[in-house]
Amino acid sequence: MIRATLAGVLVLGLTACPAPPTPPPAGPITDALRDRALREAEVWHPIDTAGLDVHSGPPGSRAPDITVDCTFVVPHSPPGGKTPKFLCRLADGSLIKVKYGPDNMEVHGEIFGSRLLWLLGFYSDRIDPVRVRCRGCPEDPWDFLQGLDPSDPRPPPPSETVLEFSPASTESYFGARIEAHAGQGLAWPALLATRSNYPGQAATQSLHREALTLLAAFLGHGDSKPGNQTLACHPDGGTPSRCKRSVAYIGDLGSILGNGGKYRMSKVDIEAWEDAPVWAEDAPCSAHFRTHRLGTLFDTPISEPARAFLAARLSAASDAQIRELFAVAGLDGLGCPGA
C-alpha cells in the first residue's frame, strides 16, 4: 500500500500534527525589482481538481509516450547535476531539456511531482513523459557530455546516428525566471519570510506557502538548494523586468518520493518514502525534512489552517486520478500501483 493513497495519507496522516536550460530573464533585473516580485508572488491558484485529466496533463502538454524528434546540442561545458540529461533542438529551433534512462529515477519523480502540483493548484514547470528520437546523439549522451573540456572549441555532434531514448521526459518552463543573476533561484526561508505589503494578501500568502511547505515534506523534497526553487513571471504577467503577476514554485522535483539525505538522497524509493515521517518528532506541528547539505528547507512550523487547506486539496483528487498519476509517471511499471 503506497501510503494508502496520496489522498488517504493526507487525510489520515495530516488529520492532526503529532503532539509535542534556464532561459535568461528579459531585461535587467535589480534586487529591488526581484524583492517586489517575491513579496507579491502566488504559489497557488484555484483549480477544478475533480475535472482534470491527469493522463493528458496541463494545457500544452505533449501526449504521454509521444515520440519527440530533435537534434543533439553540444553545450560549451558539461551540464550540472548528476543525473543523465542533454539538450536537444526541435525542428522549430526551440531547445528542450531531456532527462532519460531506465535507472534515472528523476524521470519518474519529476513527472509525478509536477502533475501532482498541477492537480492541486500549485504552480510547476511542465514535465512530459515521452520517447525521444535524437539525431546526432552519442550512444550515452551523459557520458559524452561529462568528457567535454570547456577550454576546447565547441566540438561537432559525434555522429548523424538517430537513437531513441525511453523512458524519457521533457521540461517546459512555466514562466520566465525573475533573477538578478543566472541560476539565482529561491531559498525557501525567503519564500516563507517575505510577504505582501497588503495585509489581506499577506495572510493568504502565509496559508498557501505553508501548505506548499507541508506538501514538500510529504513528497520528501530533500534537495531544496536555491536553484531548485523558482521565482518567475506568470505567462499572463508580462516580462520579468515588468512583471505584473509573479509566481513561485518548486522548480526541480527530481529528489522526491524518498527519504532525503544530507549527502546522498534517495529518489523514488517508495519503501523509504512510506517510512519517512511528515511531522517532526521534537517540534510540535512542524513539517519534517531530511535536507541535503546544500538545502534551505528545514523543520518548519505549519499552522492548522494550512494543514487543513492542503488536506482539502488532496481530498478533492479521486482514487482514479491518483492511480493515473502513478501510471503516467511510470511508477506502476516499477511496482508502484498507486493504491
* Its pTM surpasses 0.75: yes
Rounded to a whole number of angstroms, the distance between the first and last alpha carbons of the chain is 6
Amino acid at 320: A
pLDDT digits (tens, 9 = 90+) for 263-301: 566 788 888 898 889 999 988 899 999 887 888 899 999
In 3D space, the residue among 244, 120, 123, 224 whose CA is nearest the CA of residue 178 turns out to be: 244
199: number of Cβ within 10 Å:
9
pLDDT at 81: 81
The phi, psi pair for 206, rounded to 5°, reads -60, -45
Cβ 49 vs Cβ 319: under 8 Å: no
| Separation CA 197–CA 211 (nearest Å) | 21
Q: What is the DSSP letter of 230?
A: E
Three-state DSSP class for residue 295: coil
Cβ 117 vs Cβ 249: under 8 Å: yes
pLDDT at 18: 47
| Separation CA 209–CA 38 (nearest Å) | 12
Cβ 93 vs Cβ 29: under 8 Å: no
pLDDT at 306: 98
Q: Where in the chain are the domains?
A: 11-332
pLDDT at 11: 47
In 3D space, the residue among 43, 94, 77 whose CA is nearest the CA of residue 209 turns out to be: 43
Low-confidence ranges of the chain (pLDDT < 50): 1-4, 7, 9-13, 18-26, 337-339
pLDDT digits (tens, 9 = 90+) for 193-236: 999 999 889 999 999 999 999 999 999 998 899 999 999 999 99
The phi, psi pair for 113, rounded to 5°, reads -65, -45
Cell numbers placing 132: 525521444
pLDDT at 182: 85
pLDDT at 339: 39
pLDDT at 17: 52
pLDDT at 223: 87
Say what the alpha-carbon torsion angle 297, 235, 54, 116 is, to the nearest 10 degrees. Answer: 10
| Separation CA 227–CA 81 (nearest Å) | 11
Q: Grid coordinates 518548519 are at which residue?
A: 300
Residues 6+ away with beta carbon under 8 Å from 241: 25, 26, 27, 28, 29, 33
| Separation CA 316–CA 214 (nearest Å) | 17
